[in-house]
Amino acid sequence: MKKNVAGQKIGAQMLTAADGTAFTGAVTVEVTLDAGTQATGTVGSGACTHEGNGYHTYAPSQAETNGDLVAFTFHGTGAVPVTVQVYTAFPQTGDNFALIGATGSGLTSLATQASVTTIDDLLDTEVAAIKTVVDAILVDTGTTLDGKLDTIVSAIDPTGAADLDAIKASTDALTLAAINAQVVDALATDTYPESSGVPAATAPLAVKIAWLCTVARNKITANGTTQTLRNDADSATVATSTVSDDGTTFTRGEWT
């Protein structure tokens, strides 16, 4: 039985208490929802219809099916009472969905697609949109697919490779020899600034080399307590360290 749905039927086979034969007299039904209070059926005062051979049916109202456990107790004068218990099926609201997108019914979240009333229409709309985009890329008079892609590449990176052929040429040129040449150029030709301060113990190699060159090349002044490393222009201090001399051991502290 469907929960909270009108137009349903329930029935029971009734027997005569005296001799066990089919009971054909008047039968009334009592309805109990979820183990609550039993009440006479509201449709026709609970009167049942004898279908024949002692089988009696009742047509409950929608409200009389609105429970998880519904018990229908059939009874009549001189008959053995019979209780039929049913667990209702839930949910039932999807039995009669309207077309998707139809305002006020079905899955109305798609109702914003004003022209869409079925899934087929929705797919047609989306496919048509995709086709329009593809046509715009491929169907240009006198333009090949390769040419169109070149245009797209140029638009994405107007300062870089002009087309796909240029990109391929660049990648083809990335040989081991070419890479080695770039490394040699970085070491022998490119220039780097002097160190601007004491590098961390875990600093990159290039930063450490710059520091060593700065210490070895630049001016250092010293007095009784401090050594001072100056920049190339001798216009600013790069770092300092403390010094001490007890007449036996000369100590220079870490640059800071």
Q: Total structural domains in the chain?
A: 2
- Report residue 47: phi and psi, to 5°: -65, 135
Assess if residue 14 is contained within a domain.
yes
Assess if residue 131 is contained within a domain.
no
What tens digit of pLDDT does each residue of 155-211 get? 666 555 555 666 677 777 777 887 888 888 888 888 889 988 999 999 999 899 999
- Dmax over CA atoms of the chain, in Å, equals 133
Overall size of the chain counted in residues = 256
Contacts of 68 (CB under 8 A, 6+ apart): 3, 34, 87, 88, 90
What tens digit of pLDDT does each residue of 77-87 get? 999 999 999 99
Assess if residue 146 is contained within a domain.
no
pTM beyond cutoff 0.85: no
Assess if residue 246 is contained within a domain.
yes
- Cα of 162 vs its chain's centroid, Å: 37
pLDDT along the chain (256 residues), means of 10: 94 96 97 96 96 97 96 97 93 55 51 57 75 67 62 61 65 78 84 90 91 93 92 94 90 90
Assess if residue 179 is contained within a domain.
no
Last residue of a domain, one of 42, 62, 87: 87
Assess if residue 244 is contained within a domain.
yes
Last residue of a domain, one of 63, 87, 111: 87
pLDDT at 160: 57
pLDDT at 140: 57
Assess if residue 145 is contained within a domain.
no
pLDDT at 74: 97
How many C-alpha atoms does 256 have within 13 Å on its Cβ side?
7
Last residue of a domain, one of 87, 110, 136: 87
Q: Which domain holds residue 51?
A: 10-87
| CA–CA gap between residue 202 and residue 208 (Å, rounded) | 9
Assess if residue 247 is contained within a domain.
yes
